[in-house]
Structure 1
Amino acid sequence: MYCAISGEVPQQPVVSRKTGHLFERRLIEKALQASENRCPVTGEELKPEDLLPVACDLAQRPRPLSATSLPAMLAMFQNEWDDLVVESHATRKQLHATRRELSHALYQHDAACRVIARLTKERDDALALARSGQGVVVTQQVDQAALEQAYACLQDYWKATSKTRKKRKAPAQLASASQIKTWSPQKPAKVLGSASGLAHDVKSGSTLVWGPQGIAYCSSAKKPLVVDKPTSGACFLPQGLLTCGDNITIYSSSMEEQGTIQGTYQSVDAHNTGKYAVALKATGAWSLISLEAKTVLAESSVDPGDAATSSIKFHPDGMIVAAAISTNGAHRVKVWEVKDQKPVHAFDGHSAPISSVAFSENGYHLASCDEGGTVKLWDLRKLKELKSFQVDGAGASVAFDSSGKYLVVSTTTNVVVREVKPWSDLVSVETSSIGACFLTDAQGVVAVDGGGGLVSIGK
């Protein structure tokens, strides 16, 4: 008789009254406990009460042949001792190898700690040097607290200005449509060897002209201040100006360098608080920058095939930004939220690369022009095209005046001033221009040609 589980002669045999199988008592009890009272052979329900003991003489297991004599037992003990010695040697060898690996890992950890400490010290020294305005800050990641602080600042500005700005009335000294119709150009004044962009500050009356040969800061009371540094974009700050190119540079009003931030960008625009800025790369990605800490806080993602074709602009509320992006032949104006750097809308409709975008002061409209001479106005509340018209030449730039009543478009052949509500042209001046901006209260327009000549258009 053999156990149905082990296949050996059982020492304490029991038989199942349900299935008739013979088992070793200790084995079947463990099997029933593990299988929740199921027969290990048939799978049927089987309880310990269903097992009947079998009365039989206990079998005496024969002694193995290797233990039947003293010489055989000595040989068996010797073999066991040899196995124990071999196993002990293997264990000591493995222990020695483990100790060497642990020692090497501890050495690598110590070296890594020293490198981290050195890099941390270099970072802290660079930040301290940059905050003093004497060095270059390497772009780096900052903690979430810095981002939250930036968003809180932008939101506070939005809450404080959005309602009052939208209800603001046009100033009494704003130029009328009849006055604008009498405008004519003055003789150009050469300020740079070549130019690619223009910005005007209506508060100070100053103008920036930039291009591959440098940037010129023009004030009515001073001779233009020129810095021979290739510049691809610039904007005014409350107390100075901001430029971009091979890196982002902060200047004072006297064109003294206040600090730089590494990174190649083609356009930059500052928030009205003067604490933050956005900078656009050729790939279509843009960065949120802290001007006080002189560091990049966050950067937007890029879709495959994207390429930026215009400058980037802050909305007057400061909570969204817009720029023109071309993707595999499709030309659109994309709008992102500053808070999470995610696109919220894209305006389609241009058939040529878009060269410029601009927000109206009340925040309701967005204007764009392309190289084919098409100018479009977009309604930001209804997210649709509001108006489209054609101008002569390739569109280079578009800008609203501070009241949002007038729009100026510069092209390769002329500068056109258009009244927004009646959608009618007021004046068209034949002059090649790559950028144009309104003066204070729309009392004139300042434009620049590709040769760096600054032209005033007015009475």
Structure 2
Amino acid sequence: RRQDYSIHSLSTFQSVYQSPILTDPPPEAFTSLAAHPDGQLLAVGTTAGIVQVYDIRQGSLAASLAGEKSSGYSINTLSFSENGYQLAAPSSPSSVAIWDLRKLKTSASVPFAESFKINKLTYDTSAHYLAVAGSEGVKVLLHKTFEEVLSLDDAGDVMDAAFTGVNGLELWGVGPREVKIWGPGEN
């Protein structure tokens, strides 16, 4: 099967770059993706619990990230930190691995209760916080220590989340039938 990609201008919808065919495509299917802040790398999650990091311009595999206990869990979400040094990825349905891309190893692991299933990971634009949306609400973690600073348990099943608003201090989440917005001072 052919695996390549192209980059299009959103103003003209014309292709501005066509990659070579990927030289090391994984045998497992892609399930998620995230673009590095500098635009040079593309991380894709796979059905085997492996994150493949591609050099966009070369179309080649730059790194393959797999935890020590690769469970075969499908990586359903990925998020780069604002500076691009870290990549957050689920390491199981209920835990997050923080990959240090400079060392190509995990720098932190954040477990949650087994009943909490991760749906979405997203850093805020300042990289001070990481939001983890899941089956039992949203957990907001400090970026450096990954200490939980806010738990929005009453939110129910949150499928997606995004930081927005003035200084990125609003957190929006979407559940099965509603959009919720949390701002400073709310919990």
**Could you state the TM-score of these two structures normalised by the residue count of structure 2?**
0.83
How much has 1:373 moved relative to structure 2?
1.2
CA distance in 2, matches of 1:305, 1:317: 27
SS state of the match for residue 389, structure 1?
strand
Instruction: Report what 1:432 is aligned to.
Output: 157
CA–CA separation in structure 1 for the residues paired with 2:144 and 2:132: 16
Q: Quick check: 1:308 aligned with 2:30?
A: yes
Query: 33, 38, 41: which is aligned to 1:317?
Result: 38
Is residue 2:137 matched to residue 1:417? no
CA drift of 1:412 comes to 1.2
Look up the match of 2:5: 287
Identify which of 336, 359, 367 aligns with 2:80: 359
Partner of residue 443 from structure 1, selected from 155, 164, 169: 169
User: Does residue 1:406 correspond to 2:126, yes or no?
Assistant: no
CA distance change for structure 1 residues 299 and 434 in 2, over 3 Å: closer, same or farther? farther
Percentage identity across paired residues of the two chains:
27
User: Separation in 1 of the partners of 2:5 and 2:129?
Assistant: 31
* Larger of the two Rg values belongs to structure: 1
Q: Are residues 1:332 and 2:50 paired?
A: yes
Contact 2:20 2:58 in 1 (8 A): no
Instruction: Spell out structure 1 runs of 4+ moving beyond 6 A.
Output: none
For residues 284 and 308 of structure 1, do their structure 2 counterparts lie closer, same or farther at Cα, with a shift above 3 Å needed?
A: farther
Query: Aligned partner of 2:132: which letter?
Result: V
Aligned length: 172
Instruction: Determine if contact 1:284/1:325 at 8 Å carries over to the other structure.
Output: no
* CA gap 1:372/1:337 in 2 versus in 1, 3 angstroms: same
Q: What runs of 5+ residues in structure 1 fail to find an aligned partner?
A: 1-282
Deviation at residue 300 of structure 1 after TM alignment:
3.9
**Unmatched 5+ stretches in structure 2:** none
**Which protein has the bigger strand share?**
2
CA RMSD of aligned residues (A): 2.1
* Residues 286/412 of structure 1: CA separation in 2 closer, same or farther (3 Å cut): farther
Q: Distance in 1 between matches of 2:13 and 2:139?
A: 41
The 1:333/1:360 distance shift into structure 2, 3 A limit, reads: same
State the 1:400 CA deviation. 0.5
TM-score, normalization: structure 1?
A: 0.35
Give the structure with the higher percent helix: 1
Q: 1:396 aligns with which of 95, 111, 119?
A: 119
